[in-house]
Structures are given as structure tokens and as C-alpha cells.
Structure 1
Amino acid sequence: MNEKEIVKLSKRLSSWLRHRPEAIGLDPDAAGWVRVEDLLRQAAAHRRAFTRAQLDTVVERNNKRRFEFDESGTSIRARQGHSIEVDLGYAPAEPPDVLYHGTAERTLNLIMAEGLLPMRRHAVHLSADIDTAVNVGGRHGRPAVLRVDTTAMRRDGHEFFVTGNGVWLVDAVPPRYLELLAAR
């Protein structure tokens, strides 16, 4: 598969595994897992067929590492970003002292007033580095990067979780923990 094909299949999988499993007749379990054989069968039934080898390639080579197989390799799920109800089962984790959030510059006034909210997702996504935050923010317009004071948040009782691909999750980030680094 070339990079364009990987991105195309990754976007389809994101839609099905994170937002609209019913679109092709999938029924994820409480933790978001779908049996690979069901995914392949239902995709084919909806004229979106792909092979297990292509699926393996997307999971392995997707630059955002959005998907994971279970230990047996027979089920798959998205690591984060769901708008459907799931319990991913991540244990609380100790974050670095600072994390970052990339957003579009046009959203800064609202964020600085209300904080970071999960919106249509289950959690706010944070990055461990500025470059990743810039890339995330750039997907939505001119990027801006916010610094998140995780030390103060932890002291005040907020819990953090980290996914297998290094994305940090938190329920919300109130404005008092945010600092605008610079619009990029």
C-alpha cells in the first residue's frame, strides 16, 4: 500500500471504530474492540473491502498510530478519539510537568474563557511535545499552542491517562492551567 491508500483506509477505520460503527453494522464491545473478521466481513458487505494484510499495514504504518490489536490479534480498536461511548480501560498515569495542546488560532478566545473541553470526544487530547501540538493545531487552521500545567492539575486532583501511542488524555483543562505559548 502506498501512503495515500494508508491514509484513506485509516480515515475509514477512524470513522467506523471511533464514531459510526453502525454505518457498516459493527457492534464494538464496551472497550471499543471489534473482531477483525467482523470488520473485514462488514466492510466487504458495504463495498469497502480490504484485506487483513492491508489492515495490518495501516495499524503498523499509520503515522498517528491510531489503532491497536488486542493481544491475540483477533480484535482491533481505535486508541482514542471516540465519540461513541467506550471505556478504554487506561490506568491513571503520572504526566510530565507540562503537556501541550494544539488548536486553531481562531478558537483561542473561547478556550481561554472556558478551558479545553472534550467537545464530541470522551477526553481532551494533549501532546508531550510542541511539534506534535503544532501539527494537530494546523489541521484546523492557523495553529496555536497552549501549555498545560499538569503539575498544578495533578495537585488539584485531575487524573491523566496515556494511550499506547503517547497521546495524553484528561477530562478537561480549566483555563487557569493554560498558557498561550505563541500563535504559529
Structure 2
Amino acid sequence: MDEKRLVKTSKTLSRVLRHDPGSVGLTLDGAGWVGVAELLAALAGAGRAVSRAELDLVVENNNKRRFAFSEDGLSIRASQGHSVAVDLGLAAAVPPAVLYHGTATRSLEAIFRDGLLPMSRQDVHLSADTETATRVGSRHGRPTVLRVDAAAMAAAGHEFRISANGVWLTDAVAPRYLSRPTDDARDRSVR
């Protein structure tokens, strides 16, 4: 599978498994799973045929590990990022003291006014490192990285969960827990 097809297939899977399973006639179960055979048949029926071998390549080679197979390999789901209602069954987890959120600089005024909100998704997505946050922010324009005081949030009773692909999830982040990176050495690369 060439790189172009790999990316196109990954984007199709993201749309179907995170946002619009009905576009190919699928319904996800309550935890976001759908049978692999059912998915492949639905994609083929919608004119977007993908073989099981191609699906395996997309899941294995996606640098963001967006998708996961069930233990028996018969079902698949997106690891996080859903705009459709699903319960991934992720247990509460103790976050690192600081997490990061990548965004476009044009969004900063609204974020510092309203905080980080899930918008069309179920959760706010946070990263454990600035490199990942920068990549995420760059998808939306000129990136900037915000520091999230996850320790203070957790101490105040906010719940965090971590997805199968290492993305930290929480319901929202109030402005008081947000700051711009400081000039210390580990943050200079994101300025």
C-alpha cells in the first residue's frame, strides 16, 4: 500500500469510526466497536473497498495509533476522538503534573476566556509532551502549545483518562489551569 492510499484509508476510517459510521451504513456498539468483517463489507458497499491486509497495515502503521483491534482481532474501534456518543470504558488515571494542548494561535483569546472545551468531540485531548502537542496544533494553523496544570486539576477533583494511544482525556480545562510555556529549556522548542 503506497503512502497516499495509507493516508486516505486512515482518514476514511477516522471519519467512519469516530464521527459518521452511518455514512457507510454502520452502527458502532456502545464502546465504539464494530466487527472488522462488517466494516470491510460496508466500506466496499460504499465504493471504498479496503482489504483486511490493508486494514492491518493502517492500524499497525498509523503514527498516532488512532485505531485498535479487539483482543481476538474480530472488532475495531477508534482509540479516541469520537464526536458520536461512545463509552470507551477508560478508567480514571492519575495524570502527570503537567500536560500540554496544541492549538492554533488564533484560538488563544477564546481559550483563555472560556478554557479548553471538547467542542464537537466528547473530551478535551491533551498530550504528555510538547512535541506531540505542537504537531496537533499545527493541523489547525500556526501552532502554539499551552501548559495544563493537571496536578492542580486532579487535586480539585477533575478526572483524567488515558486512551489506548496515549492521549490524555478530560471533560474540560478551565482558564485558571492554563498557561503559556515558560522560557525554561524544555519549552524553548515550542515558542
TM bin, normalised by shorter chain, reads over 0.9
By how many angstroms is 1:180 displaced?
1.3
By how many angstroms is 1:107 displaced?
0.2
Counterparts of 1:91 and 1:6, CA distance in 2: 31
Indicate yes or no: 2:69 matched with 1:58: no
By how many angstroms is 1:177 displaced?
0.2
SS state at 1:56 partner: helix
Residue 172 of structure 2: aligned partner: 172
By how many angstroms is 1:166 displaced?
0.6
By how many angstroms is 1:2 displaced?
2.1
In the TM superposition, 1:94-105 aligns within 5 A as 94-105=94-105
SS state at 1:102 partner: strand
Counterparts of 1:12 and 1:22, CA distance in 2: 13
In the TM superposition, 1:147-166 aligns within 5 A as 147-166=147-166
In the TM superposition, 1:1-184 aligns within 5 A as 1-181=1-181, 184=191
Q: Which amino acid aligns with 1:84?
A: V
Counterparts of 1:177 and 1:31, CA distance in 2: 30
By how many angstroms is 1:165 displaced?
0.9
TM-score scaled by length of structure 1: 0.98
Counterparts of 1:169 and 1:131, CA distance in 2: 18
By how many angstroms is 1:4 displaced?
1.8
Counterparts of 2:7 and 2:99, CA distance in 1: 27
Specify every segment of 5 or more residues in structure 1 that has no aligned partner in the other structure, as ranges. Answer: none
By how many angstroms is 1:46 displaced?
0.8
Residue 186 of structure 2: aligned partner: none
Q: Which amino acid aligns with 2:159?
A: E
Counterparts of 1:146 and 1:27, CA distance in 2: 36
Q: Which amino acid aligns with 1:133?
A: A
The Cα offsets for residues 137-162 of structure 1, whole Å up to 9 and x where unpaired, read as 00000001000001100010001000
Q: Which amino acid aligns with 1:98?
A: V
TM-score scaled by length of structure 2: 0.94
Q: Which amino acid aligns with 2:164?
A: G
- Percent identical among aligned pairs is 61
Counterparts of 2:135 and 2:42, CA distance in 1: 33
By how many angstroms is 1:5 displaced?
1.5
Q: Which amino acid aligns with 2:18?
A: R
Q: Considering only aligned residues, what root-mean-square deviation do their CA atoms show, in Å? A: 1.0
Q: Which amino acid aligns with 2:156?
A: D
Counterparts of 2:167 and 2:107, CA distance in 1: 21
Counterparts of 2:119 and 2:103, CA distance in 1: 13
Q: Which amino acid aligns with 1:65?
A: R
